[in-house]
Amino acid sequence: MITPDPRPYPLDHLARRGEGEGAALIVGEQRLTYSDLDDLVGKTAAGLLARDLRQGDRVATWMGKTVLACVMPLAAARAGLVHVPINPVLKRSQAAHILADSGARLLVANRLRLDTLADPDLSDATAVALEDWRGGDDKLQPSAHDPNDLTALLYTSGSTGRPKGVMLSHANLWLGAVSVAHYLGLKPDDRTLAVLPLAFDYGQNQLLSAWYAGGNAIGFDYLLPRDVVRAAGRHDVTVLAGVPPLWLQLAGQQWGDAGRSLRTLTNSGGHLPELMVRRLRELFPKARLHLMYGLTEAFRSSSLDPALVDEHPDSVGTAIPFANLRVVRPDGTAAAAGEEGELVHSGPLVAQGYWNDPNRTAQRFRNGEVWSGDTVVQGEDGLLRFRGRDDAMIKVSGNRISPTEIEEAALTSGAVSDAAAFGVPDERLGQAIVLVVVTAGEGKDEMLSAHLRRELPPHMQPREIIWKDALPTGPNGKLDRTALKAELA
């Protein structure tokens, strides 16, 4: 395998990676060539600076996948500003928190979203309606910014506290694009359907890695999973990324010829159950399925070679280019093969810390490394297997139990279509297991219970099974364990 170029450049140079008249971006009926993309990035950057913004100022966007939303990461980078994308599914109070915490000087949003905000919500930001936005008359030329300069704040929610802004440099985002384009084998003729939110690092990278490869990114917002199927067929999509809840929905659709052009599928943002891996392999046998793992603080950690997926569907592979990984015990020493430990990251993909939050930065970022809080096992084969977040592990009578094991056992029963396991306080056991499931049909209660009794030892049996019509998902489409746990409480 050829080693990808490790030299970072200013992020806005991605606008010039493809052939001038080749398709770079499609949003609805709008189609931009690479010449158009570079021109629009330059004019948008000039328009930002015309609003009396200074280098390092934060610029927030709160909208769906409009053309402006897609080009703003490059335009803000070219202008020397810091882009703060707000997920369009967030509500007033959440957007107000991000505006205040980031210190945004400018907010560009749809007028309907702006109408939900009161003056105090804007903090120090000037609001501009998307419908009134106008770029500069002049075009700002490609920048010569230091690749280590801050260029983005991506707000991510943890298990506790309010969303925190992860600080990303030009180099972080540039090398993330290089790495993904390299190990996915992206080419100029690839067409990536960008369905994930652009405020999500995985979602934004759909654009950046496609542009690094000189390919075509298609910005697409959907209401129903069937919309994704239709768009894939309409655009002859070759690359599609998803998180587990989305893949669960897409796997239940009738694809017909719509998936004939797909050749690269990726999953991150959560563990994809083996049952779902098998289903996707059946649906798209000619497509390469990349099972990946990552976290915003380190962008992406690992990916499994698609050639190994059928044999090792439980694995998330090995370190991607530019990621250095180690598995450690609580005392910081290296875990042995087959021993559970915390995954620790280092290298140029690691973020610069949390914006305006030195305490949480010191807890998570130590000596140039980011400690993930995620429990993994590295086997004798060198492959990583995700066990769960440390704060999600269930401890029953001294036994550490991964919720993933219980969830996968439930899914293999055929009685449920989705599942989430939690530990709840128990005076006798320390914690007891509660399993929340989505039914796959009528009369499945006893079928599930009998299956779990056969497949799981006594200490892994749920004390209670709760049936729901659907599990809650967060702004990025991932299972919202915090919301679900709050419901249980």
The answer, yes or no, to whether residue 235 has pLDDT greater than 50, is yes
Is the CB of residue 175 less than 8 Å from the CB of residue 106? Answer: no
Q: How much of the chain, in percent, has pLDDT values that exceed 90?
A: 73
Which CATH number does 11-378 carry? 3.40.50.12780
Q: Read off the pLDDT band of 77 (50, 70, 90).
A: very high
Say what angle helices 201-212 and 170-184 make with each other, to 10 degrees.
Answer: 70
Q: Read off the pLDDT band of 399 (50, 70, 90).
A: low
- Residue 101, both tokens: 């915490």
pLDDT at residue 158, rounded to an integer: 55
| Sign of the alpha-carbon torsion through 338, 342, 343, 348 | negative
pLDDT at residue 397, rounded to an integer: 67
pLDDT (tens digit, 9 = 90+) per residue, 9-44?
999 999 999 988 889 999 999 999 999 999 999 999
User: What span, in angstroms and rounded, lies between the C-alpha atoms of 353 and 360?
Assistant: 8
- State in Å, rounded, how far the first CA of the chain is from the last one: 50
User: What span, in angstroms and rounded, lies between the C-alpha atoms of 456 and 226?
Assistant: 36
Q: Which of 1-10, 34-43, 434-443 has the highest mean pLDDT?
A: 34-43
CATH number of this structure's domain 393-488, picked from the four choices 3.40.50.2300, 3.10.20.30, 3.30.300.30, 3.40.50.720: 3.30.300.30
pLDDT (tens digit, 9 = 90+) per residue, 104-125?
999 999 999 999 999 999 989 9
pLDDT at residue 456, rounded to an integer: 84
Q: What are phi and psi of 304, to 5 degrees?
A: -90, 130
Mean pLDDT of 186-215: 96
The answer, yes or no, to whether residue 160 has pLDDT greater than 60, is no
pLDDT at residue 460, rounded to an integer: 84
User: What span, in angstroms and rounded, lies between the C-alpha atoms of 300 and 298?
Assistant: 6
More confident residue, 99 or 430: 99
pLDDT at residue 478, rounded to an integer: 84
With vertex at residue 218, the alpha carbon angle to CA 300 and CA 31, rounded to the nearest 5 degrees, is: 140
pLDDT at residue 477, rounded to an integer: 83
Collect all residues with Cβ–Cβ distance below 8 Å to 221 and sequence separation of at least 6: 64, 65, 88, 195
Where in the chain are the domains?
11-378, 393-488
The answer, yes or no, to whether residue 219 has pLDDT greater than 70, is yes
Q: How much of the chain, in percent, has pLDDT values that exceed 70?
A: 97
pLDDT at residue 84, rounded to an integer: 98
pLDDT (tens digit, 9 = 90+) per residue, 270-279?
788 888 999 9
Structure pTM? 0.86
pLDDT at residue 483, rounded to an integer: 85
Q: Read off the pLDDT band of 2 (50, 70, 90).
A: very low
Nearest in space to 142 (alpha carbons), one of 242, 12, 253: 12
Q: Read off the pLDDT band of 1 (50, 70, 90).
A: very low
Helices (H) and strands (E) in the chain, counts: 14, 25
The answer, yes or no, to whether residue 196 has pLDDT greater than 50, is yes
Mean pLDDT of 299-308: 95
pLDDT (tens digit, 9 = 90+) per residue, 130-139?
999 999 889 9
Nearest in space to 225 (alpha carbons), one of 254, 266, 204, 191: 254
Mean pLDDT of 382-393: 82
For strands 288-293 and 302-303, give the pairing: antiparallel
- What value does the mean pLDDT of the chain take? 92
